[in-house]
């Protein structure tokens, strides 16, 4: 066997080194949020966090194929972002630990069944913008879009700075304007400092912002709990969940109708028709013209026919 001489080896190594230097390094996606946050702090970058479900969503498959897997997109986006992708399967299950970590992260950001959902976070992991769906255009246009979103971080930071110089309800209103566009879970999980400030600035919650966010998160948890028991035909448990939610949070208007509608459905499916009529009447009395008011009237009419009235 012919052994390469030192000169040939030297040329080969130099060529390999040149190739490695000349070739752009493409960013790797991670689903380890904590590690991504650490990297973002060290490199002073923002975080692009996208939740997808490629085994069940055509839009997610399109986003993955057209954008997320593109080297052009990754190389441009990673200049300013650490890239985090959480691919939550709905048809198959991953290793239990990995799957649970993904579910926990999705819950922390308030991600339900809408995919894809993207969050833009600062280096501390605080979201400053959120969007759903897939934008038109190719990978380069998508990367430019991401970079443009960074302006919203500047706007938020300038708003927080301006609010810090205010006092009383004026400051409270400024903070509400900044936080209102964000999902309930995001505000409660990532902006606790601002929520604590609002509690001091507006102790009676005259702006109704704190109650709105707390109830919003509680309602999301309520819906999750109802779905788990409703499909098991545990209608009595649904009724209990509804009564507990109303007793604890005293919802009003549309939200109260939505919660009571769960009770109406459970009573109707369970054959408890007389109590179902009373709940239908309560929903209708709140707003007979709303969608839940109209649906309740239709259900009541069908129940009355079943009872021969």
CA distances from 200 to 60, 169, 193, 205 (A): 43, 10, 11, 10
Residue 11 pLDDT greater than 80, yes or no: no
For tokens 């009003």, name the residue.
252
Q: What is the pLDDT of residue 7?
A: 57
Q: What is the pLDDT of residue 91?
A: 75
- Using alpha carbons only, give the angle 141, 24, 145 rounded to the nearest 5 degrees: 15
Mean pLDDT of the chain: 89
Q: What is the pLDDT of residue 280?
A: 97
Q: Encode pLDDT of 154-195 as tens digits.
A: 999 999 999 999 999 999 999 999 999 888 889 999 999 999
168: left (phi over 0), alpha (psi -120 to 50) or beta: left
**What is the number of other CB atoms lying within 10 angstroms of the CB of residue 35?**
12
Q: What fold is seen in the domain 213-306?
A: 1.25.40
Percent pLDDT > 70 in the chain is 90
For range 41-66, the mean pLDDT: 95
Q: Encode pLDDT of 259-304 as tens digits.
A: 999 999 999 999 999 999 999 999 999 999 999 999 999 999 999 9
CA-to-CA distance for 221 and 224, rounded, in angstroms? 5
**What is the number of other CB atoms lying within 10 angstroms of the CB of residue 59?**
16
Residue 26 pLDDT greater than 60, yes or no: no
CA-to-CA distance for 129 and 51, rounded, in angstroms? 14
Is cis: bond before 118, omega within 30 of 0?
A: no
Pick the more confident residue, 103 or 170: 170
Q: Encode pLDDT of 188-243 as tens digits.
A: 999 999 999 999 999 999 999 999 999 988 998 898 899 888 876 789 999 999 99
Tokens of 253: 């208007």
Pick the more confident residue, 78 or 16: 78
Q: What is the pLDDT of residue 5?
A: 57
CA-to-CA distance for 110 and 297, rounded, in angstroms? 32
In sequence order, the β-bridge partners of residue 52 are 87
pLDDT-derived band at 123, boundaries 50, 70, 90: very high
Give the phi and the psi of residue 255 in degrees, each rounded to 5. Answer: -65, -40
pLDDT-derived band at 10, boundaries 50, 70, 90: low
Q: Please report, for the chain, the start and end positions of each structural domain, with discontinuous segments joined by +.
A: 33-154, 166-207, 213-306
Which is the CATH superfamily of the domain at 33-154? Glutaredoxin (3.40.30.10)
Pick the more confident residue, 272 or 13: 272
Within this chain, domains 33-154 and 213-306 share the same CATH topology: no
Q: Encode pLDDT of 78-98 as tens digits.
A: 999 999 999 998 777 667 788
In sequence order, the β-bridge partners of residue 49 are 84, 119
Q: What is the pLDDT of residue 17?
A: 41
For range 141-152, the mean pLDDT: 96
What is the secondary structure of the chain as a DSSP string? -PPPPHHHHHHHHHHHHHHHHHSPPPPPPB--HHHHHHHHHHHT-EEEEEEE-TTT-HHHHHHIIIIIT-HHHHHHHTTTEEEEEEE--SSS---HHHHHHHHHHHHHTT--S-SSEEEEE-TTS-EEEEEES--SS-HHHHHHHHHHHHHHHHHHHHHHHHHHT--HHHHHHHHHHHHTTS-HHHHHHH-HHHHHHHHHH-TT-TT-HHHHHHHHHHHHHHHHHHHHHHTTT-HHHHHHHHHHHHHHH---HHHHHHHHHHHHHHHHHTT-HHHHHHHHHHHHHH-TTSHHHHHHHHHHHHHHHHTT-
Q: What is the pLDDT of residue 61?
A: 95
Q: What is the pLDDT of residue 80?
A: 97
Tokens of 129: 């913008």
């Amino acid at each position: 066997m012919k052994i390469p001489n030192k000169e040939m080896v030297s040329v080969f190594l130099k060529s390999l080194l040149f190739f490695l230097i000349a070739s752009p390094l493409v960013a790797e996606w991670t689903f380890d949020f904590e590690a991504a946050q650490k990297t973002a702090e060290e490199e002073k970058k923002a975080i692009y966090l996208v939740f997808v479900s490629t085994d069940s969503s055509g839009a997610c498959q399109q986003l993955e194929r057209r954008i997320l897997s593109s080297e052009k997109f990754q190389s441009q986006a990673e200049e300013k972002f650490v890239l985090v992708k959480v691919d939550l399967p709905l048809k198959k299950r991953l290793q239990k630990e990995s799957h649970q970590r993904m579910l926990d992260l999705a819950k922390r950001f308030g991600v339900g069944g809408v995919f894809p959902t993207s969050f833009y976070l600062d280096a501390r992991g605080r979201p400053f913008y959120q969007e759903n769906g897939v934008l038109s255009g190719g990978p380069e246009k998508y990367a430019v879009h991401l970079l443009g979103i960074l302006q919203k971080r500047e706007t938020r930071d300038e708003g927080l700075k301006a609010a810090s110089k205010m006092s009383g309800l004026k400051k409270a209103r400024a903070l509400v304007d900044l936080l209102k566009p964000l999902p309930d879970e995001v505000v409660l999980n990532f902006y606790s400092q601002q929520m604590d400030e609002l509690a001091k600035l507006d102790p009676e919650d005259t702006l109704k912002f704190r109650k709105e966010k707390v109830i919003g998160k509680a309602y999301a948890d309520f819906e999750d709990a109802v779905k788990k028991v409703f499909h098991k035909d545990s209608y009595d448990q649904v009724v209990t969940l509804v009564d507990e939610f109303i007793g604890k949070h005293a919802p009003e208007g549309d939200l109260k109708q939505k919660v009571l509608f769960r009770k109406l459905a459970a009573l109707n499916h369970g054959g408890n028709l007389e109590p179902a009529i009373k709940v239908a009447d309560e929903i209708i009395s709140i707003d007979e013209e709303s969608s839940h008011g109209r649906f309740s009237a239709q259900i009541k009419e069908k129940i009355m026919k079943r009872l021969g009235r």
